[in-house]
Structure 1
Amino acid sequence: MNAIVFDLELIKRFRKGQLSEIVEIGACKVSLNEKKIIDQFQIYITPKSGYVSKSTRKFIKMTKEDLKNAVTFHQGIHQFANWLGDDYFLCAWGKDDKAHIINQCVRNKINLDWFKNYNDIQKQIGELLVVDNNSQIGLKNALNIAGIEPVGKAHRGIDDAINTAHLLLKFIDTLKFNKNNVTNKEISQQFIKNKQTIQQNKIYQASVSKQ
């Protein structure tokens, strides 16, 4: 059984009604038996517009060459799903990445059967690092408290995934991994959220045209 530790980076949004879009997927495959990283995955994804702002590229350390090699969301998510293998737990630092995956797959009518056994390891590890912690602990802070020297650059998907995997490995004997599937309620919530965002965009466009 493997744990897939993944991290997403998104385009920066500048106004209401702008849909969130995944621009990078970084992931590590951790063997729970061998207790080590056995593979890595990283891919850049082109937004629907085909344009990634300079501020986004600077924030996630994405070069112009990276943008040239980026693939569509359909291609990227299918490559990621195929790389996962057959038996795995999906792990991320927090709940946001799960919501973003579901949201964009719903928007693009992509089957979510592969998105299973999701575990938010931020909560579990945060409780181990900070006693009586009622707030979410950031990745950088968690690494510092755990005594783990971070690798790479913050806000780069593959580097954040590697650093999160190192945290998982440090506490691997304590963590509990749950099996689950995406529920119809979660899909409906993201479907409604997309409709609301699109409506906000229509209102914004109408207000701009009147100016």
Structure 2
Amino acid sequence: MDQGGDVLNVVDVEATCWDGSPPPGAVSEIIEIGLTVVDLRAGERSARHRILVRPVRSAVSAFCTELTGLTQAEVDTGVSFAEACRTLAAEHRAGTRPWASWGDYDRRQFARQCRATGTPYPFGRRHTNAKAVFTDAHGLGKRPGMAQALRIAGLPLEGRHHRGEDDAWNIAALVLSLAKAGRWEDPQDHGTGW
């Protein structure tokens, strides 16, 4: 069932953020990884996962909590970034399964954080920027945010926006709408961006 591009991981991350510049010495770090498994052949979202990640060089700001709903106490219960990457590879076949995200932020954030921490990059080379595909498929002049894309596609926003698990679930719905319209292709080797 998982051959070629039949099964896809849709990934969305949330990271530490601030209203303005980060505090001295702080860097943006992944604190939540949302992953939805999409079975393109069956036309369904087959599983959803959430990995909380404990930051080490930054803290969850009040702004970040307001945006994502995540608190410092909650992410303190998470795993290390290296452990999260091992989980993606071992349990979610991240190294061999094609994957997609809304825009390139998630791919670039993983690449940056892997470089900074010496952690092996967990994903394979077959990545699709779902935002770009959606924009082209709908003939839009500007790339929409996920919530706007759901409105354009006539789909509901399920859960909380800026929560990784819920955003991955919603992006997966957009991917399936593109696949149903014949506008989704198996991603090619696009490199890791680093």
Asked if Structure 1 and Structure 2 have the same fold, meaning a TM-score greater than 0.5 normalized by the shorter chain, the answer is yes
Correspondent of 2:11 among 6, 12, 15: 6
Report matched runs for 1:18-167 at 5 Å: 18-49=26-57, 51-63=59-71, 66-85=74-93, 87-112=96-121, 114-129=123-138, 131=139, 133-167=140-174
Distance 2:164 2:76 in 1: 18
Query: CA-to-partner distance for each residue in 1:134-155, whole Å, 9 max, x for gaps?
Result: 3211111110011001100110
Report the 3-state secondary structure (helix = DSSP H, G, I; strand = E; otherwise coil) of the residue aligned with 2:98. strand
Q: Percent identity?
A: 23
Distance 1:77 1:87 in 2: 14
Asked if 1 retains the 8 angstrom alpha-carbon contact of 2:29 and 2:57, the reply is no
CA RMSD of aligned residues (A): 2.1
Tell me how far 1:23 sits from its aligned partner. 0.9
Report the 3-state secondary structure (helix = DSSP H, G, I; strand = E; otherwise coil) of the residue aligned with 2:137. helix
Report the 3-state secondary structure (helix = DSSP H, G, I; strand = E; otherwise coil) of the residue aligned with 2:152. helix
AA in 1 matched with 2:159:
G
Distance 1:67 1:110 in 2: 19
Q: Greater shift after overlay, 61-70 or 30-39?
A: 61-70
The count of aligned residue pairs is: 183
Tell me how far 1:77 sits from its aligned partner. 1.7
In the alignment, what sits opposite 1:204? none
Report the 3-state secondary structure (helix = DSSP H, G, I; strand = E; otherwise coil) of the residue aligned with 1:26. strand
Structure number with greater Rg is 1
Structure 2 length-normalised TM: 0.85
Asked if 2 retains the 8 angstrom alpha-carbon contact of 1:113 and 1:181, the reply is no
Asked if 1 retains the 8 angstrom alpha-carbon contact of 2:35 and 2:48, the reply is yes
In the alignment, what sits opposite 1:196? none
Q: Greater shift after overlay, 46-55 or 158-167?
A: 46-55
Asked if 1 retains the 8 angstrom alpha-carbon contact of 2:33 and 2:51, the reply is yes
Distance 1:134 1:52 in 2: 35
AA in 1 matched with 2:144:
I
Q: Which has the higher helix share?
A: 1
Distance 1:90 1:106, change over 3 A: same
Distance 1:109 1:71, change over 3 A: same
Tell me how far 1:87 sits from its aligned partner. 4.2
AA in 1 matched with 2:78:
A
Report the 3-state secondary structure (helix = DSSP H, G, I; strand = E; otherwise coil) of the residue aligned with 1:176. coil
The answer for unaligned runs of 5 or more in structure 1 is: 188-211
The answer for unaligned runs of 5 or more in structure 2 is: 1-5
